[in-house]
Structure 1
């Protein structure tokens, strides 16, 4: 019961971080007070998508395992670079490496949680949940094809909603970002034109828009800019009480972002049967499924497995796979299925 209480406290702490928009330079130094002198510190860096849950797990696991986590929220691209350079004990990325990259860099990769990417807006007179878009419309907004919010293509999807005659101000990531990888991969899947002209990646040549760093940077830019639209991980949108757009899914339904639509999406996941352990959760065809879902991943150096830090990293994530579900749910993530978590624990045991 003590461990569960610590986990709940950790969830509240991490939720506070998301709500307050603590950003890219944050070092999550957790559980230091009261730890024994022999406690092992592990360092990780990367994904802002995963930062709230790693913060929560770090706070709870510190007391349960005598491991202290120092996590830097610097974006997925930088997280991959740092673990490849062996300047951190693990990297975190929403864009999974392929099997060849993992082998070349001597890395073990596994997912930790799943989460949703949502579109948020700042439109005077339009309340939360009262704007509906399709994937194709999102692509056209970010391509600069639609420049006004009262464009007929948008009003057609929103009967009865008075949309302002206001220019569209797209906000996108300025840093190498796994959230961008997921978002642009979705746009490429639903829009052949986007796939051909912009493509997908952690960093792309955006046709239009203002850049911001991190999920918290996107949230701040949208809050401060009327007429703006941005994309970010759901925990940041929910924590900041931002208006979230409803989206039409592949099943043809307009769906709201929330636990039910996220769980339905996860049930459609297609799991890779190779060393990537990657999940494809984008644009699932299930009824009620949220269309922009992804897993976030950890990258662990194989050649450090027998060092003190290497053993501590594996212990930390083994503990998290066994005990981290409540914290994940409290922060609006979807825990991995039981069989996937069991597989990951088996990988960590070797």
Structure 2
């Protein structure tokens, strides 16, 4: 994927980019010489949150720690909801989340942040959510929003249901019972998946509003992205939803957008976000986005998440500020966005989005 964004990259980011390339080279040529680091950063940085960020976080921490050998970054992929709770309580210096902070969360005191200040919230990357399935004899699957909502709410229970058959006239759908696998933990991926169904199939997705917990007592729950993927992979007649980077060799459904069935791509995910507005009424350092799921443009893929990074504009512990600033500066750089694209299948941030996020990060105190 070609990234055309240009802009200022700090010395630390530049060093990290060189180191990341060196790491890639060493993977194919063990004789490659190591890259010397000039970083003076020291300390341990703790983060927690979205399991969907796990692949990207592993790539980011590996490259950043090569460039900054006296820094240790520990990211615990506990899920978006748990990560936000940990950050609010002061148990981590930052959180990764696929669901932006709620109004109630913003009203709480943030233990790691200077009293009277709000946290910042910037996008880290854009990623499609794949609808994964494992059905014997079925290699391709088309679904529309209404049918998908009925499957996960428990209204459709077998694979040869007339609604599914009508969408897949060339396939032979078995009479196998459907096991719809959802996240058992509070999950930003769930909230985004639920928001898509809430916006596009409200009559079949009868909830008050999308939230991190799965809204129905149906199907099978599994913890974390990896838990959902494993349950779908090892089950019979299973279907689930997960960050596209974890879909692996499982079948992936195409979703009806307008009059066409669309498969996910990073570009299609980025396109729908580009046409979506910001969440109204937020602080200037809060870049939460309200995704428009109702697009009929088949170049868009509407089941998508924006994965955010949350931190303090001003830290109680002054040693956290330079570490968060440097690490996030790298993540938002061309090199960091390329690492996420390569390892998590995500779409790099648009130039204007990245520049605004970098300005917020570089003002951390």
Structure 1 Cα separation of the partners of residues 49 and 38 of structure 2? 25
2:39–2:68 contact (8 Å) kept in structure 1: no
Unaligned runs of 5+ in 2: 1-13, 26-36, 110-117
Structure 1 pair 200/8, CA: closer, same or farther in 2 (3 Å)? Answer: farther
Deviations 1:115-136 (A, max 9, x none): 0111111100111xx1100111
Structure 1 pair 164/10, CA: closer, same or farther in 2 (3 Å)? Answer: farther
Structure 1 pair 35/215, CA: closer, same or farther in 2 (3 Å)? Answer: farther
Q: Which moved more, 1:106-115 or 1:58-67?
A: 58-67
Structure 1 pair 314/102, CA: closer, same or farther in 2 (3 Å)? Answer: farther
Structure 1 pair 38/256, CA: closer, same or farther in 2 (3 Å)? Answer: closer
Question: Any idea what SS the aligned residue of 1:49 has?
Answer: helix
2:127–2:345 contact (8 Å) kept in structure 1: yes
Partner residue of 2:330?
319
The residue correspondences of 1:1-350 to structure 2 (distance < 5 A) are 3-4=16-17, 6-7=19-20, 39-66=42-69, 67-98=71-102, 101-102=105-106, 104-105=108-109, 106-127=118-139, 130-197=140-207, 199-237=209-247, 240-249=248-257, 251-272=258-279, 274-275=282-283, 276-283=286-293, 284-304=295-315, 307-322=318-333, 323-330=335-342, 331-350=344-363
TM-score (norm 1): 0.85
Structure 1 Cα separation of the partners of residues 38 and 103 of structure 2? 38
Structure 1 pair 6/227, CA: closer, same or farther in 2 (3 Å)? Answer: farther
Deviations 1:242-298 (A, max 9, x none): 11000012x332111223433433332323463231123342343321120120111
Question: Any idea what SS the aligned residue of 1:280 has?
Answer: coil
Structure 2 Cα separation of the partners of residues 2 and 83 of structure 1? 29
Structure 1 pair 109/219, CA: closer, same or farther in 2 (3 Å)? Answer: same
Question: Any idea what SS the aligned residue of 2:177 has?
Answer: coil
RMSD of aligned residue pairs (Cα, Å): 2.6
Structure 1 pair 235/8, CA: closer, same or farther in 2 (3 Å)? Answer: farther
2:182–2:219 contact (8 Å) kept in structure 1: yes
Structure 1 pair 292/10, CA: closer, same or farther in 2 (3 Å)? Answer: farther
Structure 2 Cα separation of the partners of residues 88 and 270 of structure 1? 30
Deviations 1:81-109 (A, max 9, x none): 11111111111111101466436433211
1:75–1:178 contact (8 Å) kept in structure 2: yes
2:184–2:214 contact (8 Å) kept in structure 1: no
Partner residue of 2:115?
none
Paired residue total: 326
Question: Any idea what SS the aligned residue of 2:217 has?
Answer: coil
